[in-house]
Amino acid sequence: MDTNLNNIIPITDLRRRFGEITENLAEIEGIILTKGGQPFAILKAVPSAKKKILVKAKGAWKGTRLDKDDLWKEVFKRKSRTNLTI
């Protein structure tokens, strides 16, 4: 989980701004809630919500130059370290 300060909030802020805070919850790893300044709980989106985002983004590259299988074969091709010239 990211321990980014944006992902750590007091539980009182969650109560006050629930809609704003949880709007993009499925796009992040989770939010650490604090109570009395100490970590209290972790708020995460259910896996099905994360899956919806992945399915929606699945076709984002369709029709662009990134949609070419040859490009990705080249990107993921393993390079041999023994043939490196320095």
Per-residue confidence at 26, pLDDT binned at 50, 70, 90?
confident
Residue 37: which residues within 8 A CB-CB, separation 6 or more? 10
Q: What is the pLDDT of residue 1?
A: 42
Distances (CA, A) of 24 to 4, 13, 36, 64, 72: 15, 16, 25, 27, 29
Per-residue confidence at 2, pLDDT binned at 50, 70, 90?
very low
Q: Is a pLDDT exceeding 80 seen at residue 11?
A: yes
Kindly report whether the global pTM for this prediction surpasses the value 0.75: no
| Homologous superfamily assigned to 5-75 | YefM-like domain (3.40.1620.10)
Q: Where are the domains of the chain?
A: 5-75
Q: What is the pLDDT of residue 34?
A: 95
